[in-house]
Copies of this chain bind each other. A is one copy, B any other.
Amino acid sequence: MPAEATIKRIDSHLSRRAKLQKGLLPGLLGSHLHRAEQALFGRMQRILAGHGITPSEFGILLLINDNPGFSQSDLGRAINADRSTVVALIDRFESRKLVQRQPSPYDRRSHALRLTEAGQKAMRDLVPQVQKHEQEILSRLTVDEQTQLIDLLNKISGE
C-alpha cells in the first residue's frame, strides 16, 4: 500500500469524463474474496504494526506457538512453502528475536522451532487484540451468519 493513499483524491482524471467501470470483476467470487481479505488484513496491520509483524507472519507465529518444537520442514509443509523459503523466514524471525532454533532431541539434522520469551510476550499481547478485532468485524453479522460464512468458505476451500 502506498503511503500517498492516505490522502484520498476525490476525483481523478478519468472521473472527469467517465466513472471507473468495474465491469466483469464484481461478477467473480475471487474479487469478493480478495477484497474481504484485503479489508480484514488491512485493519489487522494497524494492530500488528507496533510489533512490526504482518498478518501473514502473525499466522505463522501462531502456528509455531501452538506447535513448539516442530521442524522447519514441518513448518514448510504447513504453510506450503519451500525449505529454502523457511530458512529465510526463520532467519528474519530470529534476527528480530521472535523465534529461536534449538537442536532437535530426536534428529540431529533438524531444528526445533520455538518462540523466544519476547515472541511469546508479543503473542500474549497481540492475540487478544486480534481476537477483539475479529469480533468487531464479525459483529456486523448475526451469530447464524457468522457460522454460515465460515461454513461456506470451507466449502469453497474444498473441505
Q: Which residues of A contact B (CB under 8 A)?
A: 1-2, 4-5, 9, 12-14, 16-18, 20-25, 27-41, 44, 55, 59, 62-63, 65-67, 69-71, 73-74, 76-78, 80-83, 85, 104, 106-107, 110, 127, 130-131, 134, 137-138, 140-141, 145, 148-150, 152-158
Contacts and interface: CB of A to CB of B under 8 A. Distances in A.
A80 B1 contact: yes
B66 A22 contact: yes
Chain A interface, DSSP helix/strand/loop, else mixed: helix
A51 to B, nearest CB: 16
B74 A156 contact: no
16 contacts: A2-B80, A2-B85, A5-B77, A5-B80, A14-B71, A20-B74, A21-B66, A24-B62, A29-B40, A29-B134, A30-B44, A32-B154, A33-B36, A33-B40, A38-B157, A149-B149
